[in-house]
Amino acid sequence: MRRLSANRLHGRVRSLAGALALVLLCLGAGPAMAAGSGSGGAASPAAADAQGDSPAATIKYLHASLIEVMKHAKQLGYDGRYRKLKPVIEQTHDLAYLARLTLGSHWDKLDSDQQSRFVTAFRQLTIATYAARFDGYSGEAFRFDGSRQAGSGQSVVRSTLVQSDGGNVNFDYVLHRTDGQWKIINIVVNGVSDLAMKRAQYTDLLQRKGFPALLKTIHKRIAGYGGAH
Amino acid sequence: MSPVALAGGSVAAPGGAHRRHLRRGARAGPLRRTAAETAGICLLAGGLVSLAGCATIPGGGGTRDPLEPLNRITFRFNNTLDTAVMTPVARGYRDVTPAPVRRGAGNFFSNLHAPVVIVNDLLQGRFRQGGSDSARLAVNSTVGLFGLFDPASGMGLPRHRQDFGMTLGRWGVGPGPYLVLPFVGPSDVRDAVGVGADAQIDPLQQWSRQPAKYELRAVDLVDTRARLLGATAALQQSINPYVFMREGYLQHRYHLIHGGSAMPGLPEPPPPPPRGGQSGGD
């Protein structure tokens, strides 16, 4: 929260750019989700399976971990946040699958060594983005709004980020089951799909500049955040 | 969290839909507008409808961004200008102005802009919302001391977002080609027309012969830009800022107009068959 304190953020979505900004910020893998996993949990239909293996459990675990990190953001510092979040992100996101979806049809044009290097870089950038963005806490909370099946083995968990000024941002998580766990494969924030945003950016860069340049850009961003551990 | 990701990167940021009227600047006369202007707007709007017919919504940038080479130049220009001028000014404003003052400024301009919201409510047949927004204008202009405060939100009269681009969208007009407007930022053909139309009824725009007009607009612009300072970082940190802004804009507008996601099947595309060989550890 270093730049935009809650009151500045405050639902002032009246301007287009403002709205867009709000949405996007939340996106990019580093949402402004101030996951208050507890809030609203008691009343939610899925409260019961919060402990078990369910899409809701995955999201609640992610939210609770994020809140925890945000509350201790300053003591932890970037490196500390990265180390704490790494296992959480890896457990709650299907990063290898996401990396492949992000490149779309370009994935098949890479050799296996390139694929492997891309997945590694993508994984590190995702974690680094979370670690960099969740750098403070100002009373936000996540409300759990329920979950539903979405066909082809996928599930959607709806939640709302409630800001301290009362402004709301909708987060829909898309999950699928892999390795015996429900894992995130997309986050849709106020109707803007993170996966679609990423795919547009990555494939455009890949097409215009080629794979080495794409990888270089990713590494530059990771370094800009503070590195990978 | 450093919230907002986006739009801050360019002067785009300052331009919210309603901020864009700035570019129309000095030219805007009093409420009167020439017949030629009016006819021009109507023609443009008509042309739009046909244009929109060929525009597809989802899909790659190719079909939605036929003007990409030009747009990229404008995008760079906006960013340069924003970095050199708007960002420092907005930072200064943020640093010297207490938060309550900034909130008051935001409320004030939002209230001044309310007639545009109400007219668009009505054009979309949203009469109940138009009533609510009218009551909101009345409350905030009086009890809220000329709009400096926002007591209406606490009375069940929330702020709504409306503009003529959204009205056209709800009438079935598609976005047409993506546009990056100089000084303004991301837009599309439909929304650019919408901005022009909204300016015709925006009090801040039409309020001429008031020496305060330009000062007011300047404050409005700076205030909005300041609110988006946090967005700048996220835009710059994205791996592809031009595409980030374009996709974000188009998806967000789609969502505002149609609700839901531009990706109807939320879960996204059918997964490619898994392939071996991606290790993936760090």
Please give the single-letter amino acid code of residue B42: C
A3 CB-contact burial (10 Å; exposed 0-12 / middle 13-18 / buried 19+): buried
Which of A2, A99, A203 comes nearest B2 by C-beta? A2
pLDDT one-digit tens code per residue, A154-213:
999 999 888 776 678 888 999 999 988 999 999 998 888 999 999 999 999 999 999 999
Q: What is the pTM of this model?
A: 0.73
Residues 6+ apart with CB under 8 A from B113: A14, B18, B202, B203, B204
Q: DSSP character for B21?
A: G
State the sign of the Cα–Cα–Cα–Cα dihedral A158, A161, A166, A167.
negative
Place of tokens 């015996």: A180
Cβ–Cβ below 8 Å for A96 and B280 = yes
Query: What is the C-alpha to C-alpha distance for residues B120 and A82, in angstroms, rounded to an integer?
Result: 46
Q: Would you call B98 an interface residue with chain A, using a CB distance cutoff of 8 Å?
A: no
Give the per-residue pLDDT at B63: 72
Residue ranges in B27-126 assigned as alpha helix (H): 35-54, 61-64, 68-81, 87-96, 99-112, 114-123
Q: Would you call B103 an interface residue with chain A, using a CB distance cutoff of 8 Å?
A: yes
Q: What is the ipTM of this complex?
A: 0.75
Q: Please compute the mean of the pLDDT values over residues A11-30 and round it to a whole number.
A: 38
What's the Cα-to-Cα distance from B212 to each of A24, A217, B34, B129, rounded to whole Å? 34, 47, 24, 31
Contacts of A1 in chain B (CB under 8 A): 1-3
Cβ atoms < 10 Å from Cβ of A120: 21
CB B84, CB B212: distance < 8 Å: no
Cβ–Cβ below 8 Å for B3 and A22 = yes
CB B205, CB B24: distance < 8 Å: yes
Question: Has residue B33 got a pLDDT over 90?
Answer: no
Q: How confident is the model at residue B261 (pLDDT cuts 50, 70, 90)?
A: low
Q: DSSP character for B244?
A: H
Q: DSSP character for B267?
A: T
Task: Copy the structure tokens of residue B130.
Answer: 């138009």
Query: What is the C-alpha to C-alpha distance for residues B273 and B270, in angstroms, rounded to an integer?
Result: 9
Calculated CA dihedral for residues A179, A181, A185, A186, nearest 10 degrees: 180
pLDDT one-digit tens code per residue, A43-60:
333 443 444 689 999 999
Ranges A104-118, B99-113, B233-247, most confident: A104-118
Sequential DSSP letters for B134-155: HHHHHHHHHTTTTTTS-GGGGG
Question: Has residue A6 got a pLDDT over 80?
Answer: no
Q: pLDDT exceeding 90 applies to what percent of chain B?
A: 22
Radius of gyration of chain B (CA): 20
Q: Would you call B237 an interface residue with chain A, using a CB distance cutoff of 8 Å?
A: yes
Secondary structure in 3-state letters for chain A:
CCCCCHHHHCCCCCCHHHHHHHHHHHCCCCCCCCCCCCCCCCCCHHHHHHHCCCHHHHHHHHHHHHHHHHHCHHHHHHHHHHHHHHHHHHHHECHHHHHHHHHHHHHHHCCHHHHHHHHHHHHHHHHHHHHHHCCCCCCCEEEEEEEEEEECCEEEEEEEEECCCCCEEEEEEEEEEECCEEEEEEEEECCEEHHHHHHHHHHHHHHHHCHHHHHHHHHHHHHHHCCCC
Give the per-residue pLDDT at B209: 60
Contacts of B252 in chain A (CB under 8 A): 16, 19-20, 23-24, 190-192
Minimal CA separation from B177 to chain A, in Å: 16
Q: DSSP character for B66?
A: T
